[in-house]
Chain A
Amino acid sequence: MGDLARRYGPGLTTIILLLVAFWLIMLVIVPNLTLLEQSFRPYLPVVDVGGPKDTYSFSNYLKVFNGEIETSVLGITFHIPVHVKTFLLTIWYSMVVTVACFLLAYPLAYFMAKVVNPKTLPTLLLLLFVPLWVSEVLRAFAWWIILALKGPLNWILLGIGVIDKPVRWIVGYDGVVVGLVYTYVLFMLFPLYNAVSSLDTNQIEAAEDLGAPWWKIHWRIVMPHAKPGIASGSVMVFMLSAGSLLVPSILGSTTSQWFTQTIDQWFKDALDWNTASAYAFLLLVLCTVFVTVAMKLFKVRLSDIAK
């Protein structure tokens, strides 16, 4: 702090401190604390707010356990509260999306970092950047067109005779997963590419000379080196997927429900901001836990992920 004042004088230092304080206190800390406080309050008519009925309780959080429905996983049937099910399925499908993105992006990241002619690399990167500049809502919309019952995908497959009647692609969570993978795979690709390209190519050649099979080179040399990239890509893709509201709303079917959609319904349809806060806070906790676990698992720090 003293350093700051010495370098920029008292006036500028005050301005800098005020700006940062406005950001961190008014835009980050206080809103989140308000969210937390609000999540313990009951939903009341305006006249009762601040009255005797306005007491703190966990009842908004306990709403997660309302309304059991029958579910079966792997042939075992059991009862589970509908919002808990949504929460768990959101986590599960976000993980599926994350793994799918990794599997899709890894070969390309390796190709770009170690194989491709350096002269064509900028062109390749530029082509990959194009979809990134087209907004998320349009990318989801594009897949809505493609996967439609009378859309081009069914048309092509019917044309070459792979299927004999149109397939309904947007069932369950299929459409959501396809859309999320397409939307977020580049957030896996670029961190992976950065991590792999910092690997010394001599290491790969040495392993080859010593007779290591290709899969072992990847498993024992490239992937361990790319660990920070894998961690940051996975965290980005998981958080973006679990937090996405656009893609599940556009590509969701009648049987798919994303946790963010549940929050949105509490907020916009039920106008119950307090329960929406409680659910939003649960989402925040989930994301914090995921990032912490990922950091422990991959032994990386927050600053590595942010890169």
Chain B
Amino acid sequence: MHRFRLTLLNTYTGLFLLYMLAPLAVMSGAAFNDNKLPSIVPWKGWTTRWFIEMIEDERMMIAFANTLWVAAAVALISVVIGTAAAILINSVSGRLRTALYGMMISTILIPGVVIGISTMILWTKMGNALGTEFFLFRAGLHLSVLGQVSYIAAMVMLLVLARLQSFDPGLEEAALDLGASHAQVMRRILLPHLYPAIGAGAAVAFFQSIENFNVTQFTRGGADTLTVYVFSKVRSGITPTINALAFLLICVTLVLAVIYEANRRRRVRIEAARLDEARRAEEEMAELIGRG
């Protein structure tokens, strides 16, 4: 490639990374500024008081706990439904498969606002029809969980389905022929093969749930999740406690990223060392044969 264009592309990549990361740096910086408004200019001196205020903010801590509960519930239900859906899709074919698959995927594309309102209306209507005040039929985070599962299950389904492509159904048949029960086949043969995808699906579901705003906003009733709480804070009286929270979340992300990267590099190094050793052994072998 032409040298000038290569430089241009390199510069562009650098600028893009700056564009992606600078706002996060600005946001983190404002967490330490002793200024009532969240900003890095004018700089009024270092302070950690926003962190202290954040820890003392009881509503935020409750919202945080709620977020974790909702995310865990969404991850659990989505994994169960998504895995079942992937197994079902994998064992049907033709028109039925296309229809089911299309319906499942289209849930990802439904706007969150629509999911939120429709979930809310359905369950309250059912509650009214039954004439009950049972909590299941009233606004609350359990409805947020159901709403979120409706599209997050599809993401899990896609991950598990991809993994199923590399599964050899012959293994199931062999196990059945050797007298295993259907439950044993599922637990000892199929599920172990799917575990990596199920794990990845659970992680994706967990983080998608934490991120979710639209569905939660319409179904939550009076309860807060972290995203909803931060949103209400940003819209009303803003104090840099949100920046303190953001700083901590970014730190957690960075630490996880560094661990992941270090792990990857180590694996690459081990792989390289192994190749090296193999080559040396081969050379020695060749030498021995040559001598002999």
Min distance, Cβ A127 to any Cβ of chain B, angstroms: 6
Is A284 located at the chain interface by the 8 A CB criterion? yes
Is A297 located at the chain interface by the 8 A CB criterion? no
- The answer for the CA separation of A129 and B256 in the assembled complex, in Å, is 11
Within 8 Å CB of A249, what residues of B? Answer: 231, 235
Within 8 Å CB of A134, what residues of B? Answer: 24, 246, 249-250, 253
Is A133 located at the chain interface by the 8 A CB criterion? yes
Chain B contact surface mostly: helix
Interface size class of B (residues with CB under 8 A): 35 or more
**B81/A23 in contact, CB under 8 A:** yes
**B218/A135 in contact, CB under 8 A:** no
Min distance, Cβ A148 to any Cβ of chain B, angstroms: 6
Within 8 Å CB of A250, what residues of B? Answer: 231, 234-235
**A9/B183 in contact, CB under 8 A:** yes
Within 8 Å CB of A214, what residues of B? Answer: 2, 5
Given A34-B125, A302-B102, A4-B113 contact (CB < 8 Å): no
Is B178 located at the chain interface by the 8 A CB criterion? no
Given A144-B234, A283-B113, A34-B26 contact (CB < 8 Å): no
Interface residues of B, Cβ cutoff 8 Å to A: 1-2, 5-6, 9-10, 12-13, 16-17, 19-21, 23-24, 26-27, 30, 37-41, 80-81, 84-85, 87-88, 91-92, 96, 100-115, 117-122, 125, 146-147, 149-150, 153-154, 158, 169, 172, 181-183, 185-186, 207, 210-211, 213-214, 217-218, 226-227, 230-231, 234-235, 242, 246, 249-250, 253-254, 256-257, 260-261, 264
Q: How many A-B residue pairs have CB under 8 A?
A: 252
**B235/A104 in contact, CB under 8 A:** no
Is A130 located at the chain interface by the 8 A CB criterion? yes
Contact flags A142-168 to B (C-beta < 8 A → 1, else 0): 111110101110010000000000000
- The answer for the CA separation of A306 and B151 in the assembled complex, in Å, is 12
- With A104-B16, A302-B102 known, 8 other A-B pairs at CB within 8 A are A4-B92, A9-B181, A9-B183, A31-B121, A31-B122, A35-B122, A150-B37, A243-B113
Is A182 located at the chain interface by the 8 A CB criterion? yes
Within 8 Å CB of A146, what residues of B? Answer: 23, 26
Within 8 Å CB of B250, what residues of A? Answer: 130, 134
**A141/B234 in contact, CB under 8 A:** yes
**A115/B23 in contact, CB under 8 A:** no
Is A74 located at the chain interface by the 8 A CB criterion? no
Please name 16 pairs of A and B residues whose Cβ atoms are closer than 8 Å in the assembled complex, sorted by A.
Answer: A4-B88, A24-B103, A24-B104, A27-B146, A31-B115, A31-B150, A111-B12, A141-B27, A141-B234, A145-B26, A150-B37, A239-B109, A245-B214, A263-B117, A287-B111, A303-B105
- The answer for the CA separation of A50 and B171 in the assembled complex, in Å, is 57
Among candidates B183, B226, B246, residue contacting A141 with C-beta atoms closer than 8 Å: B246
**A34/B23 in contact, CB under 8 A:** no
| Closest Cβ neighbor of B115 among chain A residues | A31
**A182/B13 in contact, CB under 8 A:** no
Within 8 Å CB of A186, what residues of B? Answer: 20
**A8/B186 in contact, CB under 8 A:** yes
Contact flags A22-63 to B (C-beta < 8 A → 1, else 0): 111001101110110010000000000000000000000000
Min distance, Cβ B14 to any Cβ of chain A, angstroms: 11
Within 8 Å CB of B230, what residues of A? Answer: 135, 137-138, 141
**A34/B218 in contact, CB under 8 A:** no
Within 8 Å CB of A276, what residues of B? Answer: 117
